[in-house]
Amino acid sequence: MTQRDNSYAAVMARKNEIMKTSTGIDYNTYAQSAIAFDYEKMMADTGYTHEEIARIQSETKVGNTPLYELRNLTAAVRRISPPGKGATILLKDEAANASGSFKARRASVSVFEAAQKGYKGVIAATSGNYGAAVASQAVQRGLKCIVIQEVYDSRGVGQPEIIEKGRKCEAYGAEVIKLTVGPELFYIHLLTLEQTGFFNSSLYTPFAVKGVETLGIEIAHQVQERYNRKPDAVIVTHAGGGNLTGTARGLLAAGCADTRVVACSVDLSGLHMASDTDFNKKSFTTGHTGFGVPFATWPDRADVPRNAARSLRYMDEYQLVTQGEVFYVTELLTKLEGIERGPAGNTSLTAAIAMARQMDEDQIVVVQETEYTGAGKHHNSQLSFARENGIEVRRGDPSENFPGKSIVIPENLSQVMGRPQDMIQLRQSYLKNAAKQLPVASWSEADVQFLAEDLKTDPQWIRSQMGSMTGE
């Protein structure tokens, strides 16, 4: 019997075959070119209605999470806002899901699909929250679970947050394969899928993104029932894009076409996410620009051939906040509202505070998720780890924050400002990445139309950029 070649090059060459076997999706069905594909057909072919997804999720303790009005925090924001300003801030408490984060929604449909198709187990490559969600859902569906996790730098030092999330995966019965940071994550993921025959419970399949759509629908219905109106803005912590994509699609399905969908990431500019030396210099392992910007500007860098998470297709604005601002707001949520939640989920709350100051009092801004906290995920653990790695932690003006060197925690609420990311620049970066897949001169009308839809713009704008990219 011939031994299969399991070298890095050979496994990567087989990735499309492995993906087809492990997801049950033939992505070639949707391909139109090196750039364009039939996105809506891919999403529709999951076959699940929103009602069916809600039923699936209710079976495994997911969904129908509470929506809180943050009265004390809203009042504090109004005290520092111009007269008549200071929108009401609402918080969708996704920590109430099984496993403690919105990721349970993404995992629920994937794991259900795996069980329906007869797979014996599921595999997820993730830093942890999603792994815990997949493990939680798998144990409820009677499936085995393997989580592949980047935990350590080359010294064998692991981040407390990632270690805590790995512990949570193991608590649900998952086998956790712990790796050092680097390119081997995708290789090990593919090899493990091939060797086990398990289902690829990727963050980026249509099943995972469809699972988040109920979150947007619930927000729309809860705000309508309580305030007799639609939310003016919904702010989403942005990393790989599935959180924003699914929530926005749910909002649209519920009739919230005029609701602004705002992405928010922690600004970790200058820290390379695949760098061994930078790995332990960041105090946020998700919800930061190291994922948010690359995945926005080229979604198909994911572990599936065509990514269902396409954030620029739905994003109206992109806000950036500092690590210090998020840690300050995390403490503020505890002290003013009496609920303790993990810092990563409070990234969007930080942006909501900055935005609410500019919005009218009669407007509503929704922070669409929280996550559990404890042990290594707690902000005090993260700050202690930062100090151990030579990062200065101090109080002061957060504009002086320097990723990898200093974390500056605001001294008062008025210093929580955030700043906007340039949306035009993001769209232009996306087009440059598209040109690497297919030269601009070869773009067809179908490509132009797809790009316009994927960038929430129009074909005329795409053509204007094509001219500048070709020097015409």
CA distance 179 to 153: 9
396 and 255 in one domain? yes
Give ∠ CA 107-40-94 in degrees, rounded to 5. 30
Asked whether 369 and 106 are in contact (CB, 8 A), the reply is no
Tell me, yes or no, whether 375 and 465 share the same domain.
no
pLDDT of residue 347: 96
Within-domain flag for 3: no
Structure tokens that stand for 323 in this block: 């690590």
Residue 395: strand pairing partners = 409
> What does the alpha-carbon distance between residue 103 and residue 130 come to, in Å, rounded to a whole number?
5
- Stated pTM of the model: 0.96
Q: In the prediction, which pLDDT does 2 show? A: 62
Cα 207 to Cα 432: distance, rounded to the nearest angstrom: 29
Of 155, 188, 206, the residue at which a domain comes to its end is 206
Count structural domains, the chain: 3
Asked if the structure places residue 273 within a domain, the reply is: yes
- 324 belongs to a structural domain: yes
* Pair 186, 246 in one domain: no
d(CA 337, CA 370): 13
Domain of residue 451, residue span: 423-470
Residue 1 lies in a domain: no
Tens digit of each residue's pLDDT, the chain (472 residues): 568 899 999 998 998 899 899 999 999 999 999 999 999 999 999 999 999 999 999 999 999 999 999 999 999 999 999 999 999 999 999 999 999 999 999 999 999 999 999 999 999 998 778 999 999 999 999 999 999 998 888 888 888 888 888 999 999 999 999 998 877 888 999 999 999 999 999 999 999 999 999 999 999 999 999 999 999 999 999 999 999 999 999 999 999 999 999 999 999 998 877 777 888 888 888 899 999 999 999 999 888 889 999 999 999 999 999 999 999 999 999 999 999 999 888 999 999 999 999 999 999 999 999 999 988 788 889 999 999 999 999 999 999 999 999 999 999 999 999 999 999 999 999 999 999 999 999 999 999 999 999 999 999 999 999 988 875 5
The CATH number given to whatever domain includes residue 411 is 3.40.50.1100
Give domain status of residue 244, yes or no: yes
The reply to whether 12 and 74 lie within a common domain is no
Domain end residue (candidates: 206, 240, 273): 206
* Phi, psi for 453 (deg, rounded to 5): -70, -40
The answer on 368 and 287 residing in a single domain is yes
Q: Tokens 């031994």 belong to which residue?
A: 3
Same domain, 213 and 72: yes
Pair 118, 108 in one domain: yes
The 8-class DSSP code of residue 87 comes to P
Structure tokens at 403: 């990723």
- Among the three residues 206, 231, 264, which one is the final residue of a domain in this structure? 206
DSSP structure class, residue 124: E
Residue 2 forms part of a structural domain: no
HEC string of 228-257 equals CCCCCEEEEECCCCHHHHHHHHHHHHCCCC
Q: How far apart (Å, rounded) are the C-alpha atoms in residues 161 and 325?
A: 18
Shared-domain flag, residues 453 and 356: no
Pair (263, 142) in one structural domain: no
The reply to whether 18 falls in a domain is: yes
* Residues linked to residue 110 through DSSP beta bridges, in sequence order: none
Are 87 and 122 in a shared domain? no
Instruction: Give per-residue burial for 235-257: e unless 16+ CB within 10 Å, then b.
Output: bbbbbbbbbbbbbbbbbbebebe
How confident is the model at residue 272, as a pLDDT? Answer: 78
* Pair 175, 147: CB distance under 8 Å: yes
Q: How far apart are CA 209 and CA 212, in angstroms?
A: 5
Asked if residue 233 belongs to a domain, the reply is yes
The answer on 408 and 329 residing in a single domain is yes
Contact 364, 114 (CB under 8 A): no
- Clarify whether residues 164 and 217 are in a common domain: no
